[in-house]
Structure 1
Amino acid sequence: MNHFRSSMISDGAFLLLILACFISIVFTAGNPNLYIQNIIFLNVAFLIAVITYFTTVTTGLILNVLFIFGYGTFTLYQTVVVGGLIGTQNYFWLIMTPLFTLATWLLTLGNKQLQQENEKLLKANESLATVDARTSLKNTLSFQSDAAVFMALSVRYKIPLTLLVINVKYWDEIRRMIGEEQLMEAIHDLSKMNQISIRTNDSLYLLNKENPMWGMLLFTDLPGAMIVMERLRNQVDERNRNEFAGKYRVELILKMGVCEYNSELIANPLEFIAQAKKQLEFDV
């Protein structure tokens, strides 16, 4: 309902602005004797409307009051000093100039409401999305849901469960050395490499996209996780020699931490991540 109202305000204001422009142009062209004078007033009306668009309606109202005062003074001068008559010309711009301001303000109001609603929808979509659009990897929201299930299975069937977290050393420095597009490519390439390195019954998650951190839920114990870590390091070393160094002009070095699930020490998935991240400090 709010979206419909905002659309109606924006569309109505746009049509009103077009109509005001059409009437003003016809009126200006209809009296060749006052053509220059009408052009000046039309430009003033447009100027006030533009200022209103980029500022606030209060500024527009103040400018309209100043215009009416100035135009009234000009009309009084024309009537008393020059001896002119008060006609349609004298009232037209007193009506049209505030009308331009009103239409512009309504258009701005409608557009701002639509932008705010769009931002809310984007934020809601991001908060509900469980898969990263670029890498097609599950995110933290999905991790919390999956990890809760895997942790329960680990306790029930006595299956070892390990979380391996991975990030890139010196990422802040790398960010300053290569462009945004290459940063996204690096994230994508590393995500694909990590995906290949796990078994079909293990799960890979992109836990942090800004300062990339991946998480792997592995149905294995610590020695098994160490094997996965060694496999990942070897793959990165090989790609640094053959691909990454030339593609990104820097070497990408992984930093990894691993934590085996213990139901007595780890109460929830977020605590699982926190414990694994602590182990990153020991990988120097």
Structure 2
Amino acid sequence: MVAYVEDAGVFIETSRRFEIPVATLILKIRYFNDLRRMMSDRQLQLLLQIASEVIKSSTRDNDITYILENEDPTWAILLYTNATGGRIAGQRAKDAFEKRIKESPELVNLAISMVVGVSEWNAEEMSNPYDLMNDGIKETQYDV
């Protein structure tokens, strides 16, 4: 989280200086705590590996990925894009995740999905990187 906040500050300053939009994606595994109780250690390890690989492979080289929370795995990505571009990147990650889960014999029979929240930096409504991150986390609650 410390790295995310520091890097988000750089992204935000670059956004201000060069008028480039900045967004963050927050990605989580839906109902992770419930799934964890039903899964073997091997399945859990495989699930987290797939999620991490998909998130990293679904982004551009200059998008930076972070793990914000370990207990309820929460990833964040900083991107130079607007909210629309962020939603496209988020959907790409969700689609790739769903495909990988369906291809996994150990996970295919579990109801596993990813939720994504997108937040675009808004200097009028946000004052620091935590505002951007928290707005993205809040948006995961509305992803269906």
Find the residue that maps to 2:81 and give its secondary structure.
Answer: coil
| Equivalent residue number for residue 133 of structure 2 | 273
1:181-220 → structure 2 map (5 Å cutoff): 181-220=42-81
Aligned AA (1:261): W
1:20-169 counterparts in 2 under 5 A?
140-169=1-30
Instruction: Specify every segment of 5 or more residues in structure 1 that has no aligned partner in the other structure, as ranges.
Output: 1-139
2: CA distance between counterparts of 1:213 and 1:237? 17
What is the DSSP-based 3-state SS (H/G/I as helix, E as strand, rest coil) of the residue aligned with 1:207? strand
Q: What one-letter code is carried by the residue in structure 2 that aligns with 1:240?
A: I
Do residues 264 (structure 1) and 124 (structure 2) align? Answer: yes
For residues 92-144 of structure 1, give each alpha carbon's deviation from its aligned partner in whole angstroms, at most 9, with x where no partner exists: xxxxxxxxxxxxxxxxxxxxxxxxxxxxxxxxxxxxxxxxxxxxxxxx11111
Q: RCO greater where, 1 or 2, for CA within 8 Å and sep 6 or more? A: 2
Return the alpha-carbon distance in structure 1 between the equivalents of residues 82 and 140 of structure 2.
18
Q: CA deviation at 1:230?
A: 1.9
After TM superposition, what 4+ stretches of structure 1 lie above 6 angstroms from structure 2?
none
Instruction: Name the TM-score, length of structure 2 as normaliser.
Output: 0.92
Q: Give the strand-richer structure, 1 or 2.
A: 2
Q: Does 1:231 find its partner at 2:96?
A: no
Tell me how many residue pairs correspond in the alignment: 143
Identity, in percent, stands at 29
What amino acid does structure 1 have at the position aligned with 2:98? D
Query: How big is the shift at 1:176?
Result: 0.4
Query: Is contact 1:162-1:221 (8 Å) kept?
Result: yes
Instruction: Give the superposition deviation at 1:188.
Output: 2.2
CA distance in structure 1 between the aligned counterparts of 2:75 and 2:5, rounded to whole angstroms? 14
Aligned equivalent of 2:36:
175
More helix by proportion, 1 or 2? Answer: 1
In structure 1, what is the Cα distance between the partners aligned to 2:101 and 2:46?
Answer: 15
SS of 1:247's equivalent?
coil
Q: What secondary structure does 1:210 align onto?
A: coil
Larger radius of gyration: 1
**CA apart distance, 1:181:** 4.4
| Separation (CA, whole Å) in 2 of partners of 1:238 and 1:211 | 22
1:181–1:141: structure 2 CA closer, same or farther, 3 Å change rule? farther
**Contact 1:240 1:251 (C-alpha < 8 Å) held by counterparts:** no
**How far, CA to CA, are the matches of 2:41 and 2:100 in structure 1?**
21
